[in-house]
Structure 1
Amino acid sequence: MPDTPKSYPLLQPGALLHKRGQSLDKGTAIAPPITTASMFHLPGQPDGSDFYGRATNPTWGETEALLSALEGAPALLFPSGMAAISAAFFATLRAGMRLLLPSDGYYATRRLAETFLAPLGVTIEERATANFGAGGFAGFDVVFVETPSNPGLDMIDLAAVAAEVRAAGGITIADNTTLTPLGQRPLDLGVDIVVSSDTKCMGGHSDLLAGHVASRDPALIAAMENWRMLSGSIPGAHTAWLLHRGLETLEVRFDRMCSTAGTIAARLADHPALTRLRYPGLPQDPAHNLAKAQCAQFGFLIGLTLSDEETAEAFINTCPLIRPATSFGGIHTSAERRARWGDAVDPGFVRLSIGVEPVEELWDAVSAGL
């Protein structure tokens, strides 16, 4: 088991934007180059230099430097969020082990475990996010958490769960996609591995698929890096470059999206068209006290429930400033009725992902749509 993680400094404002620029030589491009090589010049014995495109890539390295600065920990880039989750699972689980998952988290995580881990002899159990700690964590080798849950926006006390899992001899993996390290820092709260779908807010422009893992335990990082190299689960150089570009503006995009979401959610609180509203930033939300203690920002996702499927679809498909789309976290406000994918939510439930539009114009469009 890894030792209790040491403290890492918080990222200073503007650090992502200027991370690469602090070490440039005269005449070096400010934007990183896109290196598409599969082979590298390698005379003599290997010495840690780039040698083969399945193992390392200079453009990955530039992007991983930003991710590491953001997480305060070594980070590895993957071609999708699910590839990152797969690396975390296959680096920590083997036959005879027990895995605990949230029953109301991202459905693909559960499908991955059921389809590929269970046949290999991993025992899988599930619990609802709102009562995740009930029953304790004794006997679980890996505990996977997602907070806020996607799409319901329930929350887990990361510090308490991580401490209890560690005391029971297990490893905690946290999916931090919905809040990013700017909104919530699971590694600082004792979690062993963070995974993220950088397809969403980290990239931010709905034009790439990427993910990453981060950990302060060298053995875990080494195992996941070995998995990446041997499985071939590697990102493309152009994707890495796009993510690097997106990360440089993450701070300002995330702040704008969270601020606007807070304003919109507060105005929706008493709207007669809604039968239920979830946003952890609202004082009346069931997750508010935990979110206030655990998070630096309350996020850009709002869960709203309308009277029925037809009303929800009409709202999503006719509002001029909402893009009907699956996924979330882009610069454009988007929405989706998650029941269409089989999530255990009300047929009228809408996951609303707030973008970077001016708040008053967006509110006018949303309120008119409702």
Structure 2
Amino acid sequence: MTDANARRAAQLLHHRKAGLTPGEPIAPPIVPATTFHLPANGTGANGYSRAGTPGWTELEAQLSLLEEAETVVFPSGMAAIAAALFACLKAGDRVILPADGYYVTRVLATEFLAGLGVEAQMLATRDYDSADLGGAALVYIETPSNPGLDVCDIAAIAARARAAGARVVVDNTTMTPFLQRPLDLGADLVVAADTKAPGGHSDLLAGHVAGRDAALMARVRDWRRLSGATLGPFEAWLLHRGLETLELRLERMCASARFIAERLAAHGAVRDLRYPGLPGDPSHRMVGGQMANGGFLIGFTLADAGVAERFLSACPYLAQSTSFGATHSSAERRARWGDAVPEGFLRLSVGIEPVEELWRGIEGALAG
């Protein structure tokens, strides 16, 4: 862990300390109130829960320490993505989106933004580094891409986008701020689905937008207030708690992913393995610089859809679910969602199980 990440991890655990008075709880309370006491000519930290809540205040303080930027929380990753897009785009604009990134972002652009006069250009992640960005109002990046794990150079793209008059938004869900820092690399906004590793326990939906441009973040905050895309008090509390173990969980998840990826690469049933942490992977060029390590996601292909589904059913330590970043390892066959991948392609999210036992389960299922 870098010194900076160690500092952020420690601060994140103790961010409430300076403001506590004697007898206050160390953990933030859950406050389900929607309205707050506002006497005549009085002001308060909160007035109505669509504009702000005590839970958001605690959670945003925590995330702001992690991002080192102003942060606004949302009830899902897609709500955060929508807020960033609507804050940056207007009729007549063109946005560049990853053709191989999270598919729901593309659907939002084609089904809704297009109807409002925004043109969406789809571009493979591996082509971002050489693409002409001229004429775009917004360049939206997802690196490593989900599920293919291709990468692009955030700093170089941000510099080129700025020269072309475009803003840059980076979806950092697959890495988190501990493993990749898009704002430090020149992005205007970072978005993330905190449903994934930050929450980490498959029991909440949440997301956030972070940025260092006060005017742009004011638009993001206004979008939340006006659209009503608000996070519930219990979900805010769950995410606050989940963040406290994020650094610890990531350390084990990423180390285990490297171990599992090496074993999978040597297995005869596995084809086209992708893990950025392996030296031979096309995305390895970004590890150690832009990316702290290879992350916790692995992609690989089995013979066909039937073999892949039998493997998923046979492995005792893989949840068959469509999310990632949880304490438990999970995997799914992504072709069933329409991703442009082979029928036998699997996205594996490595959790915090004892790694040798996890591998025994995977190896046994591959042999079955």
TM, length-normalised to structure 1: 0.96
Q: Which runs of 5+ in 2 are unaligned?
A: none
**Given the alignment, which residue of 323, 341, 346 partners 1:345?**
341
Post-superposition shift, 1:21?
3.1
Q: Does 1:327 align with 2:323?
A: yes
Post-superposition shift, 1:292?
2.8
Post-superposition shift, 1:48?
5.6
Q: Does 1:39 align with 2:35?
A: yes
Instruction: Tell me what 1:77 maps to.
Output: 73
Q: How does 1:1-370 map to 2 (within 5 A)?
A: 11-45=7-41, 47=43, 49-370=45-366
After superposition, the C-alpha distances for 1:19-72 in whole angstroms (9 at most, x for unaligned) are: 223432221111101111111111233646211111000011101111100101
- SS of equivalent residue, structure 2 residue 271: strand
Distance in 2 (CA, whole Å) between partners of 1:291 and 1:247 is: 24
Distance 1:213 1:46, change over 3 A: farther
- SS of equivalent residue, structure 2 residue 8: coil
Letter in 1 for 2:332: E
After superposition, the C-alpha distances for 1:255-292 in whole angstroms (9 at most, x for unaligned) are: 11011101111121221011110000000000101233
- SS of equivalent residue, structure 2 residue 272: strand
After superposition, the C-alpha distances for 1:328-349 in whole angstroms (9 at most, x for unaligned) are: 1110000000000010001110
Identity value in percent: 57
- SS of equivalent residue, structure 1 residue 132: helix
On the 8 A contact 1:10/1:72 being kept in 2, the answer is: no
Which portions of structure 1, spanning 4 or more consecutive aligned residues, are displaced by more than 4 angstroms? 8-11
Distance 1:9 1:353, change over 3 A: closer
On the 8 A contact 2:5/2:178 being kept in 1, the answer is: no
Post-superposition shift, 1:297?
2.5
Post-superposition shift, 1:221?
0.6
Distance 1:48 1:126, change over 3 A: farther
Letter in 2 for 1:112: L
Letter in 2 for 1:314: R
On the 8 A contact 2:301/2:346 being kept in 1, the answer is: yes
Distance in 2 (CA, whole Å) between partners of 1:239 and 1:185 is: 25
On the 8 A contact 1:11/1:72 being kept in 2, the answer is: no
After superposition, the C-alpha distances for 1:276-325 in whole angstroms (9 at most, x for unaligned) are: 10000000000101233211122100001111111111111110001111
Distance in 2 (CA, whole Å) between partners of 1:31 and 1:112 is: 37
On the 8 A contact 2:180/2:291 being kept in 1, the answer is: yes
Q: Which moved more, 1:45-54 or 1:127-136?
A: 45-54
Distance in 1 (CA, whole Å) between partners of 2:127 and 2:136 is: 16
Instruction: Tell me what 1:4 maps to.
Output: none
Distance in 2 (CA, whole Å) between partners of 1:297 and 1:19 is: 27
Letter in 1 for 2:312: I
- SS of equivalent residue, structure 1 residue 294: coil
Q: Which runs of 5+ in 1 are unaligned?
A: 1-7
Distance in 1 (CA, whole Å) between partners of 2:8 and 2:53 is: 27
Distance in 2 (CA, whole Å) between partners of 1:71 and 1:300 is: 20
TM, length-normalised to structure 2: 0.96
Distance in 1 (CA, whole Å) between partners of 2:69 and 2:319 is: 35
- SS of equivalent residue, structure 2 residue 28: coil
On the 8 A contact 1:176/1:194 being kept in 2, the answer is: yes
- SS of equivalent residue, structure 1 residue 273: coil
Distance in 1 (CA, whole Å) between partners of 2:147 and 2:168 is: 21
Aligned alpha-carbon RMSD (Å): 1.3
Distance 1:68 1:30, change over 3 A: same
Post-superposition shift, 1:11?
4.2
Distance in 1 (CA, whole Å) between partners of 2:307 and 2:139 is: 38
Distance in 2 (CA, whole Å) between partners of 1:9 and 1:149 is: 23
Distance in 2 (CA, whole Å) between partners of 1:18 and 1:328 is: 27
Matched positions, count: 363
Distance in 1 (CA, whole Å) between partners of 2:95 and 2:222 is: 21
On the 8 A contact 2:38/2:44 being kept in 1, the answer is: no
Distance in 2 (CA, whole Å) between partners of 1:303 and 1:353 is: 9
Post-superposition shift, 1:10?
7.8
Letter in 2 for 1:43: P
Letter in 1 for 2:365: G
- SS of equivalent residue, structure 1 residue 152: coil
Distance in 2 (CA, whole Å) between partners of 1:233 and 1:212 is: 11
